[in-house]
């Protein structure tokens, strides 16, 4: 199935109610959602490993030591600045209090999307033909029984910065930005739940990237679905998307600011990917994303901006996020 929002919702609602396992993708603009029944997926077109739920046909033996090219060609700071300033102007005018601004970065690499998928070490991975590969660290929604939880990620720091963990946890600006996202997710979950609480607040994940590590700060917000939920995963997604951590707050005006400031199509980047195994539902935010645009690979990345943000460090953050999660690869040519 590859169809409009209403067909997508109907399919997911029906499959969810009847316990039919499926895999799905929703793009950022929610215009090109896709869903497949698990037993109908063609692994020559779609490969996924979503927290261990996967369709990788057989153990793949890849070289542990690979030489490869991975050159980033990021936007210049001078070209980034007007976009950043446009966002800050809106923040100062009170049109938003947190905006996630992203940019595309062309890549020169001799790796194929398929090789990147197979070599990546990330909890959530997806390969759609020769169109895109995503290796995401961010859970969006997990549902077990009536319990639903979301795990917004906000806060990124290079682990080599002295005292990085304390620095990010004690930074008042970072703390305020994280609180905003947690509030937004609490509000979003309240639209679909009868009870909502914060289970874990500002825990740290370490992401191993070639030659360095990134620390990412997340929280777990949980709730209870109503008794009559009845597996309506399509309706649930349509109420919760786009994910708060990749747009900002409040959502409607912030989406408008993003469209104006970014001036490019995010496509499936910052959408969600996920599965239902007949019992449990799990999804991830499609960040750490490489797209094939007419044989030019483009890495899309971004970060949350508030009125206090510093342009230079936001610029650096989105470049730091352009990486391949290949901890076992020992040599890279730049
Ligand atoms: C849109 C992105 O940033 C979001 C996701 C993870 C961490 C974020 C941050 O630290 O600001 C952003 O919320 C991205 O990483 O491409």
Q: Binning pLDDT at 50, 70 and 90, where does residue 43 land?
A: very high
Q: Binning pLDDT at 50, 70 and 90, where does residue 1 land?
A: very low
pLDDT score, position 292:
98
Residue 185 Cα to ligand 1 midpoint, Å, equals 15
Residue 204 Cα to ligand 1 midpoint, Å, equals 14
Locate the ligand 1 atom nearest the alpha carbon of residue 137 and give its number: 6
Segment 194-209, tens digit of pLDDT: 999 999 999 999 998 8
Average pLDDT score over the chain: 93
Q: What is the mean pLDDT of residues 123-130?
A: 97
Segment 144-172, tens digit of pLDDT: 999 999 999 999 999 999 999 999 999 99
Q: What is the mean pLDDT of residues 7-11?
A: 97
Please say if the pLDDT value at position 333 is more than 60. no
Residue 302 Cα to ligand 1 midpoint, Å, equals 6
Locate the ligand 1 atom nearest the alpha carbon of residue 288 and give its number: 16
Query: Is-contact 109 73, C-beta < 8 A?
Result: no
pLDDT score, position 332:
39
- CA 251 vs CA 62, 133, 159: distances in Å: 43, 27, 31
Tell how far CA 163 is from the center of its chain. Answer: 27
Segment 292-319, tens digit of pLDDT: 999 999 999 999 999 989 999 999 999 9
Query: Measuring CA to CA, which residue among 62, 25, 66, 63 is closest to residue 45?
Result: 25
pLDDT score, position 58:
73
Residue 251 Cα to ligand 1 midpoint, Å, equals 16
- CA 25 vs CA 1, 81, 263, 285, 302: distances in Å: 11, 32, 23, 10, 20
The residue whose CA has the least distance to atom 2 of ligand 1 is 302
pLDDT score, position 25:
98
The residue whose CA has the least distance to atom 12 of ligand 1 is 303
Residue 57 Cα to ligand 1 midpoint, Å, equals 31
Residue 258 Cα to ligand 1 midpoint, Å, equals 14
Residue 269 Cα to ligand 1 midpoint, Å, equals 11
Q: What is the mean pLDDT of residues 269-274?
A: 98
Segment 85-105, tens digit of pLDDT: 999 999 999 999 999 999 999
* Domains of the chain by start residue, with CATH: 5-320 (3.60.120.10)
Q: Binning pLDDT at 50, 70 and 90, where does residue 2 land?
A: very low
Locate the ligand 1 atom nearest the alpha carbon of residue 245 and give its number: 13
- Ligand 1 contacts (CB < 6 A) are 100, 102, 138, 153-156, 245-246, 270, 287, 301-304, 321
pLDDT score, position 3:
56
Segment 57-68, tens digit of pLDDT: 876 666 554 678
Ligand 1 mutation pick, 138, 216, 303, max ligand atoms within 8 A of CB: 303
The pLDDT > 90 percentage for the chain reads 89
Segment 72-81, tens digit of pLDDT: 999 999 999 9
| 3 state SS of 22 | strand
- In sequence order, what are the residues at sequence separation of 6 or more whose Cβ sits closer than 8 angstroms to the Cβ of residue 34? 1, 2, 8, 24, 25
Ligand 1 mutation pick, 153, 219, 286, max ligand atoms within 8 A of CB: 153
pLDDT score, position 59:
63
Q: What is the mean pLDDT of residues 118-147?
A: 96
Q: What are the residue ranges of helices labelled H in 93-158?
A: 113-119
Q: What is the mean pLDDT of residues 247-276?
A: 97
Residue 179 Cα to ligand 1 midpoint, Å, equals 15
Q: What is the mean pLDDT of residues 233-247?
A: 97
pLDDT score, position 329:
58
Locate the ligand 1 atom nearest the alpha carbon of residue 155 and give its number: 10
pLDDT score, position 331:
42
Locate the ligand 1 atom nearest the alpha carbon of residue 270 and give its number: 1
Please say if the pLDDT value at position 142 is more than 60. yes
């Amino acid at each position: 199935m590859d169809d409009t929002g209403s067909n997508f919702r109907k399919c997911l609602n029906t499959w969810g109610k009847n316990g039919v396992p499926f895999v799905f993708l929703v793009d950022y603009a929610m215009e090109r959602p896709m869903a497949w029944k698990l037993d109908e997926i063609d692994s020559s077109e779609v490969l996924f490993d979503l927290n261990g739920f996967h369709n990788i046909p057989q153990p793949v033996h890849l070289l542990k030591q690979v030489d490869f090219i991975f050159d980033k060609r990021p936007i210049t700071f001078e070209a980034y600045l007007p976009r950043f300033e446009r966002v800050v102007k809106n923040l100062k005018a009170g049109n938003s209090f947190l905006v996630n601004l992203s940019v595309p970065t062309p890549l020169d690499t001799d790796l194929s999307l398929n090789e990147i998928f197979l070599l990546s070490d990330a909890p959530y991975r997806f390969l759609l033909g020769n169109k895109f590969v995503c290796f995401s660290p961010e859970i969006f929604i997990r549902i077990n029984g009536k319990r639903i939880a979301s795990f917004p990620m906000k806060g990124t720091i290079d682990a080599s910065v002295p005292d990085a963990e304390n620095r990010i946890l004690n930074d008042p600006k970072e703390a305020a930005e994280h609180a905003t996202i947690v509030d937004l997710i609490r509000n979003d979950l309240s639209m679909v739940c009868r009870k909502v609480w914060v289970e874990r607040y500002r825990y740290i994940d370490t992401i191993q990237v070639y030659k360095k590590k990134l620390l990412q700060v997340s929280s777990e917000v949980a709730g209870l679905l109503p008794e009559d939920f009845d597996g309506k995963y399509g309706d649930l997604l349509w109420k919760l998307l786009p994910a708060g951590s990749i747009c900002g707050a409040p959502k409607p005006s912030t989406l408008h600011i993003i469209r104006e400031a970014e001036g490019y199509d995010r496509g499936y980047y910052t959408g969600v990917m996920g599965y239902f195994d007949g019992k449990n539902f799990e999804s991830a935010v499609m960040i750490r994303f490489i797209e094939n645009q007419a044989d030019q690979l483009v890495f899309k990345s971004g970060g949350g901006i508030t009125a206090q943000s510093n342009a230079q460090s936001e610029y650096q953050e989105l470049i730091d996020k352009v990486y391949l999660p290949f901890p076992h690869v020992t040599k890279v040519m730049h």
